[in-house]
């Protein structure tokens, strides 16, 4: 049996067994089956990836005959090339470590078999997506990760906020998926096939053609690529369709790591890179991708500077980093986009799981204003988070050594400048500003969590937070969201434990949580340094990627020719962001509060996420609610019920009243009626 078949279908088999067996299997067996399946898939994935590093050849493994309908014919087949190989190691490695981490994090949850079954189902869907040989198969995986994300975000279904977040993620993604479906329909209409290799081969020949769309004649490939990219905007939470991403933090922390690092949000980037020859034939579509990516990169980073929930800070960071990947693809540097996807998977999974370890240590408290001075209490978690922070902020020295983000994010910023286009210049500017903000909010998170005074000790007690989905206590009153000062939280009264005890001592996480942190830390430290030549450098990159993506060797060469100030710009803003965060949250902790007083409107604007949720509420939710009430009151109740069941019931009721009047109960009355009826019938016959 081909290894790729085991890699793809073993997680599905484990999900089915654990899901159907559920409590009959017991927690340990269900966890062992699903975790073991993922580690086997991971072990089989790395040799495939390393084989392509040494010049392996792409191949296709048929599974079964799938669809034969008129002119549409395609099989279920698994495509394995360099692009697939990268995604295989990202998905299986992160997912295997998340499974192992969940042994400790979800240890007290009563529904562990269901949780692990969902995790494995999620992984299978993503593996289906990245091994797709045709667009319908890709769409199958695309919708599969959407379903699994709904199940996992709303895993604690007794918690209203989790249910609302799951529905929001599902609905927002359906908007993007409508564009993706229209794009697939259009591709089949134009090319007569859904086979990805056939589409990419024919794409250059369609350049310059037009198609009728919404009553206009528009460039064919521009329409198709923009529709496909709208799907990517939903899955990868780009500006406009991003609102589901921070709310997805309502799910358990391992889910956040899996969604944000290895599966759902990377699907859009993968799709654009997989179809890169198609996008390359439409400069307008590429410009659109560049603009949306650059705008998202900046937009999400600004919001991350004001959030207090440790997971939401990292969530907006994910949104921003995805923007980097998209504008890299938009300027034609698909290899750089995939390189950042690869490194980002390691350090973002590390940051999420590290945050989960902090939350676990703090009795599931997520508000950073109740942290402080934790580096001595949970030192292993601290060093893991430090490695992730150094990676995401891009710490390193040119020509010497750097953490993962130093190589991948800096390459994207440089290639945007090297592209020489106006949109490339815009992306470069947004990327530099976002790098500054990334450094600031990342170190702000570290300083609030691990330095300063312990805001959990010596007080009456830390807030007894929600544990595994139970409702928050109503008496929680944290520091005002309007006050960004680190020192203000010291004066906030915190509720006692439910048992009335005072004082709290954070504890380090169990080994099942710390081992994944250690492995991911190695990735955050070494992934960029080890693999940057293979992914980005012109000669090595062209050899590695082969025909799996469009690789512009001239653009990759141009990176080496950018001015020195461009190369050092990311480093400079990284240092500036670190110094600003240190000064505001360590040296002079009254400064954030002074900033809020001086720029209250700006702070409120960012704290409320640019008011996108409010805008959508009044633009879509309120009109939809009004329309629903109209159909309900005037249509359903006023028309259908009135003349339907209610009308029929009224006729029956009135008829019963009339019938009662002729029901005397006397025999001679009934005989008289019968006689009169007989006379009437005879008269009618004789008259006829």
Other beta carbons within 10 Å of 253: 27
Is residue 450 a contact partner of residue 382, using CB atoms and an 8 Å limit?
yes
Q: For residue 346, which of 563, 99, 516 has the smallest C-alpha distance?
A: 516
Whole-angstrom Cα distance, residue 184 to residue 139?
9
Whole-angstrom Cα distance, residue 109 to residue 128?
29
Other beta carbons within 10 Å of 139: 20
Q: For residue 227, which of 183, 196, 187 has the smallest C-alpha distance?
A: 183
Q: What is the mean pLDDT of residues 5-27?
A: 93
Q: Specify the pLDDT at position 467.
A: 37
Find the DSSP H helices in 617-661. 622-630, 642-643, 645-661
Residue 69 φ/ψ, nearest 5 degrees? -140, 105
Q: Is 304 exposed, middle or buried (0-12, 13-18, 19+ CB in 10 A)?
A: buried
Whole-angstrom Cα distance, residue 470 to residue 467?
6
Is residue 97 a contact partner of residue 66, using CB atoms and an 8 Å limit?
no
Flag whether 587 is in a domain. yes
Flag whether 598 is in a domain. yes
pLDDT at 430 over 90: yes
- Looking at the fold, whether 637 and 665 belong to one and the same domain comes out as no
- Looking at the fold, whether 688 and 544 belong to one and the same domain comes out as no
Flag whether 474 is in a domain. no
Q: Specify the pLDDT at position 668.
A: 73
Other beta carbons within 10 Å of 566: 18
Is residue 363 a contact partner of residue 467, using CB atoms and an 8 Å limit?
yes
User: HEC string of 389-420?
Assistant: HHHHCCCEECCCEECHHHHHHHHHHHHHHHCC
- Looking at the fold, whether 72 and 144 belong to one and the same domain comes out as yes
Q: For residue 212, which of 227, 223, 199 has the smallest C-alpha distance?
A: 223
- Looking at the fold, whether 251 and 396 belong to one and the same domain comes out as yes
Residue 634 φ/ψ, nearest 5 degrees? -80, -40
Whole-angstrom Cα distance, residue 51 to residue 433?
38
Q: How many domains does the chain have?
A: 3
Flag whether 488 is in a domain. no
pLDDT in tens, 181-237: 999 999 999 999 999 999 999 999 998 888 887 788 899 999 999 999 999 999 998
- Looking at the fold, whether 410 and 549 belong to one and the same domain comes out as yes
Cα radius of gyration (the chain): 30
- Looking at the fold, whether 625 and 688 belong to one and the same domain comes out as no
Is residue 235 a contact partner of residue 179, using CB atoms and an 8 Å limit?
no
Range of the domain at 636: 608-643
Flag whether 425 is in a domain. yes
Q: For residue 38, which of 99, 87, 89, 90 has the smallest C-alpha distance?
A: 99
- Looking at the fold, whether 249 and 328 belong to one and the same domain comes out as yes
- Looking at the fold, whether 354 and 337 belong to one and the same domain comes out as yes
- Looking at the fold, whether 552 and 635 belong to one and the same domain comes out as no
Residue 480 binned pLDDT confidence (cut-offs 50, 70, 90): very low
- Looking at the fold, whether 614 and 594 belong to one and the same domain comes out as no
- Looking at the fold, whether 553 and 665 belong to one and the same domain comes out as no
Residue 504 binned pLDDT confidence (cut-offs 50, 70, 90): low
Whole-angstrom Cα distance, residue 520 to residue 580?
28
Flag whether 483 is in a domain. no
Give, in order, the Cα–Cα distances in Å from 550 to each of 201, 272, 416, 420. Answer: 12, 11, 16, 19
- pTM confidence score: 0.87
CA angle 100, 103, 106 (to 5 degrees): 130
Flag whether 505 is in a domain. no
Flag whether 482 is in a domain. no
Whole-angstrom Cα distance, residue 552 to residue 335?
9
Q: Specify the pLDDT at position 475.
A: 34
pLDDT at 297 over 50: yes
pLDDT in tens, 616-664: 989 998 999 999 898 888 888 888 877 778 777 778 888 887 777 767 7
- Looking at the fold, whether 562 and 671 belong to one and the same domain comes out as no
User: HEC string of 51-64?
Assistant: HHHCCCCCEEEEEE
């Amino acid at each position: 049996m081909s290894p790729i078949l085991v890699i793809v279908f073993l997680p599905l088999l484990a999900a089915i067994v654990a899901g159907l067996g559920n409590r009959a299997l017991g927690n340990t067996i269900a966890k062992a089956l699903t975790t073991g399946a993922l580690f086997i898939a991971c072990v089989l994935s790395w040799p495939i990836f390393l084989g392509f590093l040494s010049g392996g050849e792409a191949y296709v493994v048929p599974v079964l005959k799938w669809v034969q309908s008129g002119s549409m014919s395609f099989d279920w087949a698994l495509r394995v090339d360099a692009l697939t190989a990268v995604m295989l190691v990202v998905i299986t490695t992160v997912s295997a470590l998340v499974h192992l981490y969940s042994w400790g994090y979800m240890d007290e949850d009563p529904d562990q078999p269901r949780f692990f079954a969902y995790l494995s189902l999620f992984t299978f869907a993503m593996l289906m997506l990245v091994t797709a040989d045709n667009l319908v198969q890709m769409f199958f995986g695309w919708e599969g990760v959407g379903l699994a994300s709904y199940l996992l975000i709303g895993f604690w279904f007794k918690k209203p906020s989790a249910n609302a977040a799951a529905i929001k993620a599902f609905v927002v993604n359906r908007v993007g998926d409508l564009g993706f479906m229209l794009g697939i329909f259009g591709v089949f209409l134009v090319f007569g096939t859904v086979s990805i290799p056939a589409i990419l081969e024919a794409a250059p020949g369609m350049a310059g053609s037009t198609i009728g769309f919404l009553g206009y004649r528009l460039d064919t490939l521009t329409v198709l690529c923009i529709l496909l990219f709208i799907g990517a905007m939903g899955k990868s939470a780009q500006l406009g369709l991003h609102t589901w991403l921070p709310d997805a933090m309502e799910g358990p922390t391992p889910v956040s790591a899996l969604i944000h690092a290895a599966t759902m949000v990377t699907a859009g980037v993968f799709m654009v890179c997989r179809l890169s020859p198609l996008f390359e034939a439409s400069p307008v579509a590429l410009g659109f991708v560049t603009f949306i990516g650059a705008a998202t990169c900046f937009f999400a980073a600004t919001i991350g500077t004001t959030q207090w929930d440790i997971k939401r800070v990292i969530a907006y960071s994910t949104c921003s980093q995805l923007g980097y990947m998209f504008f890299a693809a938009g300027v034609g540097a698909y290899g750089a986009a995939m390189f950042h996807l690869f490194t980002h998977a390691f350090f973002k999974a590390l940051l999420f799981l590290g945050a989960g370890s902090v939350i676990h240590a703090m009795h599931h408290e997520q508000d950073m204003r109740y942290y402080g001075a934790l580096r001595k209490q949970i030192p292993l978690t601290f060093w893991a988070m430090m490695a992730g922070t150094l990676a995401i902020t891009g710490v390193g020295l040119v020509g010497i050594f750097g953490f993962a983000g130093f190589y991948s994010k800096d390459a994207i910023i440089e290639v945007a400048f090297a592209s020489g286009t106006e949109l490339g210049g815009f992306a470069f500017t947004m990327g530099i500003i976002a790098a500054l903000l990334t450094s600031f909010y990342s170190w702000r998170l570290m300083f609030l969590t691990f330095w300063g005074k312990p805001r959990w000790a010596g007080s009456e007690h830390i807030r007894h937070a929600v544990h595994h989905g139970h409702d928050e206590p109503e008496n929680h009153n944290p520091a005002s969201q309007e006050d960004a000062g680190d020192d203000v939280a010291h004066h906030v009264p915190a509720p006692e434990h439910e048992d009335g005890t005072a004082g709290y001592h954070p504890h380090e996480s169990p080994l099942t949580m710390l081992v994944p942190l250690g492995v991911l830390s190695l990735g955050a430290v070494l992934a960029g340094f080890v693999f940057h030549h293979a992914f980005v450098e012109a000669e090595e990159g062209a050899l590695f990627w082969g025909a799996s993506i469009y690789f512009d060797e001239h653009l990759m060469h141009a990176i080496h020719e950018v001015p020195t100030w461009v190369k050092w710009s990311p480093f400079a803003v990284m240092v500036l962001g670190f110094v600003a965060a240190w000064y505001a949250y360590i040296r002079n902790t009254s400064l954030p509060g002074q900033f809020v007083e001086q720029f209250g409107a700006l702070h409120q604007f960012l704290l409320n996420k640019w008011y996108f949720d409010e805008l959508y509420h009044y633009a879509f939710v309120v009109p939809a609610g009004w329309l629903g009430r109209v159909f309900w009151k005037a249509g359903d109740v006023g028309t259908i019920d009135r003349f339907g069941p209610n009308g029929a019931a009224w006729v029956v009721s009135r008829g019963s009243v009339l019938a009662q009047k002729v029901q005397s109960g006397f025999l001679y009355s009934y005989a008289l009626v019968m006689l009169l009826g007989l006379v009437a019938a005879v008269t009618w016959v004789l008259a006829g």
